[in-house]
Amino acid sequence: MAMNLAAETVMPGADGRFGSPPLSPEEMQRRFPQFEILECLGRGGMGVVYKARQKALERLVAIKVLAGEWEGRADFATRFAREAKTLAQLSHPNIVTVHDFGETDGLFYLVMEYVDGVNLRELLGDGRMEPEQALAIVPPVCDALEYAHAKGIVHRDIKPENLLLDRDGRVKIADFGIASLVGAVGERSGTPPYMAPEQQQGRVDRRADIYALGVVLYEMLTGEQPGKEVVAPSRKVRIDVRLDEVVLRALEKDPELRFQAASVMRTQVETITGEATIPPQKDLPVPEARLSRTAVAGAIWAGIFFVALIPMFTVTVVPDTGTPSGPAWWQTLLAFTLLPLGIAAPLGTTLLGWISVSQIRRSAGRLYGIGLAVFDGLLFPLLLLDLLIAVLLRYLVPFIASLRDGGPFDPAPMSNWTAANYLQWALPTLLIVALADWWIIRKVWRSAIRPAL
């Protein structure tokens, strides 16, 4: 069993390595007479792991001696005892069990379940995994994370070295909470390639584990870790494009945009694996996408609104007298056929827009036209907002002028306005309308293109 023995973990309060070579099995035997120390399995950023046999219970265990010079530090001893008790209470089939803990001769140690198998790093080797294998590993890891997160425990160091697979293929998370145990709140701990952006700054919650699992999934699918600008896995290897949504959502730099719980990530993975088996890579079909009909219908309905306005702003003039006459036949026809649809267009177009946004986001790439859908959903709400701003400023400008001049508030009809009056009203109106519309469109667009749960 290899536990956390390859990738270097950042250890707050210590340099992350022992200052001297690890104790030999013989030296460990003198310090732990209740165990038969069999061999040193290896060492890593957070300690040295020994394989041992617990004499009283006749079982194999793994003893991890924590890295760092903690001897004589009462504060660490107190925190170690408190955190280790919490870890020992974790009982989940996908978490390596902590049987015991303690301190002897300045060495803080954990006695853990011995897992006879390999870690994910060894399984990956120098390449990637088949998508089916990768997706089989994610759900049990999510289960374990959800269980621990519900108890307020964050792993803080999810990586291939800490994901173990026993001989029966069961996945177990090792070193649960050890990075937290050796690092106080606000300290930076973890393994850099797998650390969420906020973890680099010492802020950690459950979403940091979800980010790290996203890095692991990316690595399993592509054989490499994501760069600063994350490229969708399907652009590197031939996999189901729906996996892009899962990976990119987990790797969002903003924790608010990630999966907010490991159970949600598991559900989306199982939805993909449950709906269809991923075909062989060279036979993988490219899904055909089509434009959302709902979005198109909303845009047409919006056009009907503006066409229906024509009879309202068109008059027929009698040539001889110059006076307006009754509506022409085509105006009457437009009024009776299009006016009812035009009146309902603001509400109808907006509803169709948001319905199509939801359909496109949940179509897993089978529908496109998100821009048209957002246009439908925002067109009339923004027009109404712009109108309200224009009306407000129409009275606000003369009101401010009356305060400046000390005169009464008596807004003149716009028909009597001079060019200066129009400029005083139009320029701030256009500026405020443009800023308000830009801010709303930006917020809505970012939300609309976010992968759906």
The H-or-E segment that residue 303 falls in is: helix 293-308
Which residues are paired to 117 by β-bridges?
A: 166
Long-range contacts of 353-357 (CB under 8 A, 24+ apart): 353/295, 353/298, 353/377, 353/378, 353/379, 355/294, 356/292, 356/294, 356/295, 356/298, 357/448
In terms of Cβ atoms closer than 10 Å to its own Cβ (0-12, 13-18, 19+), residue 7 is middle
* Farthest CA pair distance, the chain: 120
**Six-digit token string for 359:** 């359909």
Backbone angles phi, psi at 54, to 5 degrees: -80, 110
Alpha-carbon torsion 89, 262, 116, 168, what sign? Answer: positive
Q: How far apart are CA 23 and CA 26, in angstroms?
A: 8
- What does the DSSP assignment read for 115-171? --EEEHHHHHTTS---HHHHHHHHHHHHHHHHHHHHTT---S--SGGGEEEETT--E
DSSP 8-class letter at 327: P
Q: How far apart are CA 79 and CA 101, in angstroms?
A: 12
Q: CA angle at residue 367 from 268 to 370, to 5 degrees?
A: 95
Backbone angles phi, psi at 410, to 5 degrees: -140, 80
From the list 75, 126, 157, 244, the catalytic residue is 157
Alpha-carbon torsion 92, 94, 100, 103, what sign? Answer: negative
* Non-local CB neighbours of 399 within 8 Å, separated by 6+ positions: 409, 411
How many other C-beta atoms are found inside a 10 Å radius of the C-beta of residue 142? 25
Distances 148 to 80, 92, 179, 209 between C-alpha atoms, Å: 18, 9, 14, 11
Query: 249, 233 in Cβ contact below 8 A?
Result: no
> Does the annotation count 168 as an active-site position?
no
Query: 251, 216 in Cβ contact below 8 A?
Result: no
Q: How far apart are CA 6 and CA 262, in angstroms?
A: 26
Task: Read off the amino acid at residue 4.
Answer: N
* Non-local CB neighbours of 235 within 8 Å, separated by 6+ positions: none
DSSP 8-class letter at 33: T
**Six-digit token string for 49:** 């792991």
Residues labelled catalytic: 157
